Amino acid sequence: MQNNNLNNNIFNIDAGLLELAEQAEKECAEQFAEIDRICEINSQKVLKAFADNHVSEVSLKGTTGYGYSDEGRDKLDGVFAQALGGEDAVVRHTFVNGTHTLSTMLFAILRPGDTLLSCTGDVYDTLESVIGIGADYKKGDGSLKDFGINFDKVPLLNNQAPDYEKIAEKAKTAKVAYIQRSRGYSLRPSLNVEIIGKIAQTAKSANPDIIVMVDNCYGEFVEEKEPVAVGADLMAGSLIKNLGGGIASTGGYICGKRELIEKCADRLACVGTGKEVGCTLGQNREMLLGFFLSPSVVANAVKSSVFACSLMNKMGYKTTPAVGEKRTDIIASIELKTPENVVAFCQGIQAGSPVDSFVTPEAWDMPGYESQVIMAAGTFTMGASIELSADAPMREPYAVWLQGGLTYHTAKTGILIAANKMLNK
């Protein structure tokens, strides 16, 4: 079989690896078609939201100072809320990361004596300090625990599915049911919207007053619906992930029920001002344009992830999701078996990036993480995981988490460079 990629082998990829890549891409054709179908649905939702909210050229401008009557900020909130299926949203460049949006939600809703229940087992590493658990907890640091807020969790079952019976039991005495859609540094599958809806229904059947909150990072626009459409009261994420479309240079969002969004806005600003203040400093255009592009950018990222899993599987490595499995976020974990493979793969992703391709990543003691972490991210926006990037904690089973890809073809090339780097090592 003649490999057409050999005629355009600018990066001197191993010929055998190119043969595997061609086989992998053919294997992905059916999934790619489904990704395109979902992209078209979500693109139409976004376009309709822009039209219905009367986004104008004035909306692209920004304000200074207090930010009173910032039309672009208000339109941005309306567009996000409508396209994502919520009653309201607060979208701000002043959210520094996804953990900040989640922390804002938790402190806005929980009060002393309340219980936060994680329905999906352990929370993501960086949220442990917010809650007041883990090795880095220090009394008096201002975590939820310091304010008398309790934490409980329902571990996943052995098959990595939610334990609905335990969720129903513990939800009876909880104020908030917390769901983490993506897997963090674990090898469990990410949760699809249908499962999130079932968790929400289970918790609310046991306790009608419970508030269901979702960490929606990495999952936006991967499916046709979002968690607020299936029973979640609040969801949040970062704009340097899916919904920034590779254009937003910072920020985050919270979307859901109007009365809860008001509490979150009060927490972000101060009680009594909430959504009425907050200058945008010229960020409106970036955030609106990024959101408009995000369905297509997310589709490219998902295609890149699907291709990576197919290729690495053919090279003998286990992936989560498995080849052919339905996608619910943009992340793939690849079990590379040895620390040397992890380092080589991450260095290859860096070498296949448009920015800082000449830099060599090394593992280091990253704040908020218990193990050393190696990160590859030659991105236009620092830390933007909607752009092709890879990271891994240096611990068994020596898996790397791959995400992003602004365009499919450049991401495919970066993945091939990473695989080639492993072969050369």
Q: Where are the domains of the chain?
A: 4-41+294-424, 52-291
Whether omega before 397 lies within 30 degrees of 0, making that bond cis, reads yes
C-alpha–C-alpha distance, residues 226 and 216, integer Å? 8
Residue 26 reports pLDDT greater than 50: yes
C-alpha–C-alpha distance, residues 95 and 102, integer Å? 10
Q: Name the H helices within 57-162.
A: 71-84, 98-109, 128-131
Residue 371 reports pLDDT greater than 90: no
* Whole-number Cα distances in Å, 143 to 149, 211, 254: 9, 20, 20
Give me the CATH topology for the region 4-41+294-424: Aspartate Aminotransferase, domain 1 (3.90.1150)
Per-residue confidence band for 4, with pLDDT thresholds at 50, 70 and 90: low
pLDDT, averaged across the chain: 95
Architecture in CATH of 52-291? 3-Layer(aba) Sandwich (3.40)
Structure tokens at 338: 């040895």
Residue 158 reports pLDDT greater than 80: yes
SS3 371: coil
C-alpha–C-alpha distance, residues 260 and 266, integer Å? 10
C-alpha–C-alpha distance, residues 241 and 79, integer Å? 18
Structure tokens at 73: 């900020």
Q: 310-346 pLDDT, tens per residue?
A: 999 999 999 999 999 999 999 999 999 999 999 999 9
C-alpha–C-alpha distance, residues 198 and 191, integer Å? 11
Q: 191-224 pLDDT, tens per residue?
A: 999 999 999 999 999 999 999 999 999 999 999 9
- Going 64 to 79 to 191 to 325, the CA torsion angle's sign is negative
Structure tokens at 167: 């969720």
* Whole-number Cα distances in Å, 11 to 8, 167, 305, 416: 9, 51, 20, 9
C-alpha–C-alpha distance, residues 191 and 174, integer Å? 22
- Give the mean model confidence (pLDDT) for residues 399-424: 96
Structure tokens at 64: 């200074």
Amino acid at 275: K
Looking only at the bridges linking them, the beta strands covering 332-335 and 399-403 are: antiparallel
The whole-number pLDDT of residue 1 equals 42
- Give the mean model confidence (pLDDT) for residues 345-351: 97
Give the whole-number percent of the chain exceeding pLDDT 90: 90
User: How many degrees, rounded to 5, is the angle at CA 264 between CA 205 and CA 241?
Assistant: 90
226 within 8 A of 220, measured Cβ to Cβ: yes
- Give the mean model confidence (pLDDT) for residues 44-48: 98
- Give the mean model confidence (pLDDT) for residues 352-379: 90
Residue 40 reports pLDDT greater than 50: yes
Whether omega before 321 lies within 30 degrees of 0, making that bond cis, reads yes
- Give the mean model confidence (pLDDT) for residues 381-403: 94
Q: 68-85 pLDDT, tens per residue?
A: 999 999 999 999 999 999
C-alpha–C-alpha distance, residues 213 and 318, integer Å? 31
Amino acid at 359: V
The whole-number pLDDT of residue 368 equals 64
Q: What does DSSP assign to residue 338? A: S
282 within 8 A of 230, measured Cβ to Cβ: no
C-alpha–C-alpha distance, residues 418 and 313, integer Å? 14
H-helix or E-strand spanning residue 349: helix 339-351
User: How many degrees, rounded to 5, is the angle at CA 13 between CA 32 and CA 9?
Assistant: 80
Kindly provide the residue ranges of all beta strands, DSSP E only, lying in 21-134, ordered along the sequence: 88-92, 115-118
User: In this structure, how many other beta carbons lie within 10 angstroms of the beta carbon of residue 289?
Assistant: 16
Per-residue confidence band for 249, with pLDDT thresholds at 50, 70 and 90: very high
Kindly provide the residue ranges of all beta strands, DSSP E only, lying in 140-246, ordered along the sequence: 150-153, 176-180, 211-215, 234-238
Residue 369 reports pLDDT greater than 80: no
Residues 6+ apart with CB under 8 A from 21: 5, 13, 307, 311, 412, 416
